[in-house]
Structure 1
Amino acid sequence: MGFYRNVVLPRLVHHSMTNRELLPYRLRALSAAEGRVLEVGIGSGLNLPLYSAAVREVIGLDPSPQLLTMARHAVGRCACQASLIEGSAEAIPLDSHSVDTVVTTWTLCSIHGAGQALREMRRVLKPGGQLLFVEHGLSSEEPVQRWQDRLTPIWRCLGGGCHLNRPIRTLIEAAGFNIARIETGYAKGPRPMVFMYEGRAVP
C-alpha cells in the first residue's frame, strides 16, 4: 500500500479535486475569507489562486508531503503571502487565537480524528473568527445513508481514509461552533458521494 498511498493516491486526489463542478463551491466559500487564513487540508493548493484581496496571509496545512510538493507550484499564484506546513489537523502547530479564518474544503471526511481537528480549529481562531467549510458527508435521506454506510469501508481504503457518511453539521457543532449559515444538497454525481454541506460557523 506504500506505493499506492505515496504515489498513486496524491495524484488521484488532485485529479478528483480539479472537477469543474466543484469550482462554484470553492468560490463561494473563499469569497468570505479574510485576514490571516489557515487552510486545513490544503492538498495540492487548488484554492490558493482564488483568495481575494481581503486575505492578508494564507497558511496551508496538510499531512501529505506529496500533495504539499504539488501545492508549492500554486503558492506563486496566490495574491497574498502564502506558506505551507506539513502537519496534522489534530495538533495544529499554531498559537491559540492566531488566525481570523479557518477554511476546509472536502477535508473533514478523511481526518481520522475529525472532532479533535475541529476543536483545534476553534482553538486557533481569534475571538470573532470564522470557519468556512465545504464538505461532503451524511445524506439527509435514509436510503442514501444506507448506501453510504455500505460503501464507506471500501471507499475509506481506496480514498485515503475518506468517509462518505460523516455527519458534518453535528461534528462542527459538537466541537464548540455555532452554525451561522449552512446549505446542503447534492452536487452532480452518485448520490452517496456528493451530498454537500456548505457554510460558515463561529466559535
Structure 2
Amino acid sequence: MVRDGAGWWTEQVVPRLVDASLSAAPVGRLRARACAGLHGRVLEIGFGSGLNLPHLPAAVTALDAVEPADLAWERSAGRRAAAPLEVARTGLDGERLAAPDGSYDAVLCTFTLCTVPDPARALAEARRVLRPGGALHLLEHGLAPGRRVRGWQRRLEPLQGRAFGGCHLTRDVLALVRAAGLVPDLVHQAYVATGPARPWSYVTVVRAARDAVA
C-alpha cells in the first residue's frame, strides 16, 4: 500500500525529530524534576523512545506505557533492555485508557499533552486511573508569558502542527491541569536553558494530586 506524504512524515520522521530535539541535557534535567517522587505502579502516557527511563526513581515497581508511534516504541528497545524493570506497552491512545479506575499510583506525561487532539479528555483519563492519593507528573511546553512571545506562538502554531504531528504551542498547561480537577502542589515554570527560541521553550513541570488534601 502506498503511503501519503503526510502519513509517512508523521510516522517515520516526526518520532526521529522529537527524539533528537528532546534529548538535550537541559531537557534531561527537567525530566528528572518531573520524575521525582514517582513510586509504585506508574502509567506513562506518551512513552516515546523511553527518554524518561534513566530518570525513574528506584521506588517505581512497574511501568505501563501508552505510545501510538510504532517507530518510537522500536527506538526505545535499547533503553527498555537497560532498564531495571519491565515496560509493558498497554495502549496507543492517551484519550482512551484501557485501565480500570484507580489502577496506578502515578501517571507520567512528558511532551505529549501538546499533541493529543483533546488534552482535557486525556487529563480526565489520567485522573480516572489514579488511585486515591495518586498524582500526575507532567512536563510540557506551552503558552508563554508575555504578549510578544504569545503573538509569535499563535502565528507559528499552524506550521508547528503540520511539521510536528499536531503539536500546539499555545496550550495553557496549568489551566488544563486545574480544569481536569487535578490539584497542583509542585509547579515549576521557566524557559529551557540553552533551549530553542522562546515560542518553543517555555515549559511547565507540575505534580498534581488526584484529590485535594483534606
- TM-score band, normalised by the shorter chain? over 0.9
Match of 2:3 in 1: none
1:99 counterpart (93, 96, 104): 104
Match of 1:25 in 2: 30
Match of 1:189 in 2: 196
SS of alignment partner, residue 95 of structure 2 = helix
Contact 1:62 1:68 in 2 (8 A): yes
SS of alignment partner, residue 140 of structure 1 = coil
Match of 1:116 in 2: 121
Identity in percent: 35
Map 1:59-98; keep pairs closer than 5 Å: 59-98=64-103
Match of 2:53 in 1: 48
SS of alignment partner, residue 197 of structure 1 = strand
- Asked if 1:140 corresponds to 2:145, the answer is yes
TM-score normalised according to structure 2 size:
0.91
Match of 1:57 in 2: 62
Contact 1:68 1:86 in 2 (8 A): no
Paired amino acid for 1:180: D
SS of alignment partner, residue 76 of structure 1 = helix
| Deviations 1:42-101 (CA, angstroms, capped at 9, x unpaired) | 101111232121100111111111111112332122222321234100001111100001
Uncovered stretches (5+) of structure 1, i.e. residues with no partner:
none
Shift of 1:31: 2.1
- Deviating 4+ runs (over 6 angstroms): none
Contact 1:87 1:93 in 2 (8 A): no
Match of 1:4 in 2: 9
2:18 counterpart (10, 13, 16): 13
SS of alignment partner, residue 166 of structure 1 = coil
SS of alignment partner, residue 91 of structure 1 = coil
Contact 2:106 2:130 in 1 (8 A): yes
Match of 2:133 in 1: 128
Contact 1:65 1:86 in 2 (8 A): no
| Deviations 1:130-152 (CA, angstroms, capped at 9, x unpaired) | 11111100011111111111100
Distance 1:154 1:88 in 2: 24
Contact 2:140 2:204 in 1 (8 A): yes
When the two chains are superposed, the root-mean-square deviation of aligned CA atoms in Å is 1.1
Distance 2:145 2:45 in 1: 26
